[in-house]
A and B are shown apart, each in its own frame.
Chain A
Amino acid sequence: MKCKLCKREKTEKELCLFHKRAYEKIVEVYAEWVDALNINWEDYLSEIEKNSLTGKWAKEVIEFVKESRVNL
C-alpha cells in the first residue's frame, strides 16, 4: 500500500515513514504553541500552514489532516 500523500510505501496506518515523522513533529511542536499562545489545534494548524518556515512534508500533512479530518 502506498502513502496517501506520496508514492512511497506506507509503514502503518495511512502514511509513509517521512510523512508520519512530519505528523509526529506537528504534534510535538503543538505543545510548545499551547505554552506560548494557548492556542487550539485547528488554529494552530492554520498558523503553521501559512508560515513560510514550515517544511514541505509538514505542510502536506496539515492539508491531509484538515481535509480528511482523520485522526492519525
Chain B
Amino acid sequence: MQNVTLIITEKPEAAKRIALALDFDGAPKNKTEKGITYYLIKREVPIIVVPALGHLYTVTNQKKEKYNYPVFNFNWAPRDIVERKTYRIRYCIDIISKLSKKAEIFIDACDYDIEGSIIGYTILKYACKNKEEIAHRMKYSTLAKEEIIRAYNEVSPHLDFSIIEAGLTRHEVDWLYGINLSRALTIIAKKHSNHYTTLSTGRVQGPTLNFLETREINRKIFVPTPYWQIKAKVKIGKALFEAEYKKGIIKKNRVLKNIITNCAGKNCVIERIEKAKRHLTSPFPFYLGSLQREAYKLFKITPAQTAKIAQRLYLEALISYPRTSSQKLPVSIGYRTIIKKLQKNPEYEKLTAELLSKRFLKPNEGPKNDSAHPAIFPTGNTTDRSLKITEKKTLDLIIKRFLAVFSDDAIIQETAISISINNNLFAIKGTRTAEKGWTRFYQPYFKFKNNVLPTVINNQKVRLIKLIPEKKFTRPPFRFNPSSLLKKMEKENIGTKATRSGIVQTLEKRKYICGEKIIVSELGFEVSEILREYCPSIVSIDLTRKLEERMEKIKEGKEKREKVIKDTIELLMKTTKILKTKEKIIGARLNNAVKKTLNNRIEVGYCSSCKNGKLVILRSKKTGKRFVGCTNYFEGVCKTAYPLPQKGVIKPNVQSCKSCGCPTIKVSIRGKRIWNLCLDPKCSSKFKGKKNEMQIV
C-alpha cells in the first residue's frame, strides 16, 4: 500500500465511530489481531484507523531502584513494563508499530484535551518512531458523523506542542511528587512495623486529604451555641399561618423573654403587604463539574460514576465531549439541527417544537470557558443499544438542561405580609409561579413549591393564636460528600476535571477516608498530620496553585518545562531529607495509625484456631481479592484465613454455623437472594442442598 493515512484514536469505540463516519460506503473493513480491532477505510486515500487503550506510555523510574527514596531519574516507557496485567497494552503498541511502518501520513485523533494530546504524542513518538513532528491533529467535540467529517477535512497541520509540553510537565511533576512521598511513607511504615501497607500521597492527594482532615478536626472540637427563633401562629380567615420574627434569630434569652412579654395580650394587625416579581434566569449549560454535582443531587450517582457514564454516552455519539470546563454553546454546534433531531423522540416532541417556533435561539451561557471544547450538549443521535437506567437518567438530564438553556426566565410572584404585635414585626411569605419559563423544560429536575397567601388589606386585624419560641443550637460544619468535595477542589483549583473524582477513590482505597459522608480514618489523620508537620508546602494549596499557573505559562510558551521540573526536584530533595532524619518518629506514628485503622475493619467473629484473635475482612495485596484473616497474623502468631465471595456486600452474622461452629456471614448481591455462608469452605453444610448455601440455627 502507498500513501496510507494512519489515524490514531484514544479508545476502541472512537476508532469505530471515526471509521464508520469516514468510510465512503459507511461499512469499513475491520481486522482484529490479539483482541485489538482496527479499520481499513475507503476514501480518496486509503486510511487505517487504529485505537489506543487510553495511555499506552507512562512516566517511570529509569533505574528500577525499588525500595529507595528519593528517586529523580525518570523516562517515558510502555505501561506494560511498569504495571501488572497490562498485556493488552503491549498488543496495542505492537499493532500500532506494525501499522505505522505502512503509513506515510499520521493523524492524531485522540480526545482534544491535555490527556488526549499526551496519549497521541507518546504513541507517535515511541510506537510510531518519531512521527510527532510530521503528524496532523484532528479536533472534534462530538463523535457524530458530520462533526468527524468536518474535523477530518479541516485537520490541523501539526500537533499542539504547547499543550503537550504542559501535559508532559504535569505528568512528570505529579510522578515526582507521588513516587517520592508515597515511597517515603510506605518505606518508613514498613521499617517500623511488621507488615506492609501501601501508603500514598501526591500533589493533589495531599491538599485534598488536608481539607477533609481540617473539616474533621473542626467537627471534633465543635462546641454548639444556643440561639432562639420565635414564630407567631395567626389565624387569617379560616386558615392558620406561622409568621416568622422579622429580625431573624435571637441570640440572647433576655431578648426573647422581652418579646414574649411585649406581645402578650396585644393586638395583632397587618401592617404592610409587599409584592415583588423575581426573575429566575435559565440555568447555564453543563460542564463536567456541574453535571457531576447535579447527577449526585438528583440521582445520587457519584461524580466518578457520572464521569464514566458521560464518557460512554460520548463514545456512542449521544453527547458532546464531557471532560470540558466550558459553559458556552457556540452557534457552530447547530442549535436547530440538534433540537430537530431531539424532536423525533416523542418524549421531547412538545418542548422542542416550542423552541423551534422561536425566531432566535440564544443560550444562556455561563462565564466559564474552555479553549478546546464547548459545554456538554446532546447530539440528538439515538442508539440501538438499550441504555442502562443510570445512562438514561444522565442523558435525559443533559437533554433537558440543553433545552432549558434556550428558554425564557421563570417569574416568581413573591408576597410578604408583615404583622405587627405591639411593634414586634412578624412576616408570612408567599410564593407563586407567575411564568414557568425554563422550569417547564427541566422537569422533574426543578421543583418549586407554591405557597399561596390569602387576600388581606392593611390594618386588618388578625387573631394571634400563640407565640412559638424555639431553642436551637448552632451546628457543626457538614462532612464533605463526594460531590461537595469535588466542588471544593474545583473552587481551590486543585486537580483537573478529569482527575478529581479519581483522587477521592484513591483516598478511599488507601483507607484514609470512608463513607458516603466522608469520615477521615485514624490513618488518614496521621498521614495528613505528618505531611503538614514535616512537609507543609506539599499539602498547601499554594504550591499546587502556583504550579497550575506555571503550567498555563508553559501553554503560552512563557515558561520552560525543564525549569519547573528542576524546581520540583529541588523542593523534593529538601523534603525527603527532612523525612529521612525523622524516620523513626514518623514510623512509630504511622505504625500506630495503621494498627488502629486495621482494628476498625469489619469483624466477622473470633478465630477458632488461636482463640484470641479476631477474624476480619482483609484484601490481598497481591491479588486484590478479599478474604477473612486473623488479626494475630500481624503479630506473626496465627495464619488462619478463609476465602470470601468476591461479589456482593458482606455482613457478619451473630450466629455461628450449626454444623461446624465457624462464624457465618450474609452475602447480598443486587438482584439475587441474600444468602448465609459459613466461612469454612470444608464445612459439611456446603455439601447439603445447594452449593455454598447453609442454614443457621
A interface residues (Cβ-Cβ under 8 A, vs B): 7, 18, 21-22, 25-26, 28-29, 32-33, 35-38, 48, 51, 53-58
Contacts and interface: CB of A to CB of B under 8 A. Distances in A.
A57 B220 contact: yes
Given A36-B251, A36-B252, A51 B473 contact: yes
Contact of A32 (B220, B222, B225): B225
B253 A54 contact: no
Contacts of B254: 38
Contacts of A7: 592
A29 B473 CA distance: 12
Nearest to A24: B221
Interface in B211-244: 217, 219-227
A55 B252 contact: no
Contacts of B619: none
Contacts of B129: none
Given A53-B473, A55-B476, A33 B221 contact: no
Contacts of B222: 25, 53-55, 58
A35 B221 contact: no
A28 B218 CA distance: 14
Contacts of B221: 18, 21-22, 25, 55, 57-58
Contact of A22 (B220, B224, B225, B592): B220
Given A7-B592, A33-B225, A33-B226, A58 B220 contact: yes
Nearest to A30: B223
A48 B252 CA distance: 17
A48 B220 contact: no
B252 A35 contact: yes
B224 A51 contact: yes
* Most A-side CB within 10 Å, residue of B220, B227, B251, B473: B220
A35 B226 contact: no
B473 to A, nearest CB: 5
B191 interface: no
Contacts of B224: 29, 48, 51, 53-54
The 9 lowest CB-CB distance pairs between A and B, nearest first, are A55-B222, A22-B221, A29-B223, A53-B224, A57-B220, A55-B220, A32-B225, A25-B221, A56-B220
B475 interface: yes
A48 B223 contact: yes
Nearest to B252: A36
Interface string B268-304: 0000000000000000000000000000000000000
25 contacts: A7-B592, A18-B221, A21-B217, A22-B221, A25-B221, A25-B222, A29-B224, A32-B225, A36-B226, A36-B251, A36-B252, A37-B226, A38-B253, A38-B254, A51-B473, A53-B222, A53-B224, A53-B473, A53-B475, A53-B476, A54-B223, A55-B223, A56-B220, A58-B221, A58-B223
B592 to A, nearest CB: 7
Interface string B182-224: 0000000000000000000000000000000000010111111
A18 B217 contact: yes
B219 A29 contact: no
A47 to B, nearest CB: 8
A22 B476 CA distance: 13
Given A21-B221, A55-B221, 9 more contacts: A18-B217, A22-B220, A22-B221, A25-B223, A32-B251, A37-B253, A48-B224, A55-B223, A55-B476
Contacts of A33: 225-226
A52 B515 CA distance: 21
Contacts of B473: 51, 53
A35 B251 CA distance: 8
Nearest to A21: B221
B599 to A, nearest CB: 14
A51 B223 CA distance: 9
A51 B473 CA distance: 9
* Most B-side CB within 10 Å, residue of A54, A55, A56: A55
A28 B220 CA distance: 15
Interface string B38-63: 00000000000000000000000000
Contacts of A55: 219-223, 476
Contacts of B251: 32, 35-36
Nearest to B473: A53
Contacts of A18: 217, 220-221
A52 to B, nearest CB: 9
A37 B583 CA distance: 51
Contacts of A48: 223-224
A68 B305 CA distance: 51
A38 B473 CA distance: 16
Contacts of B252: 35-36
Nearest to B228: A36
Interface string B423-435: 0000000000000
Contacts of B225: 29, 32-33, 36
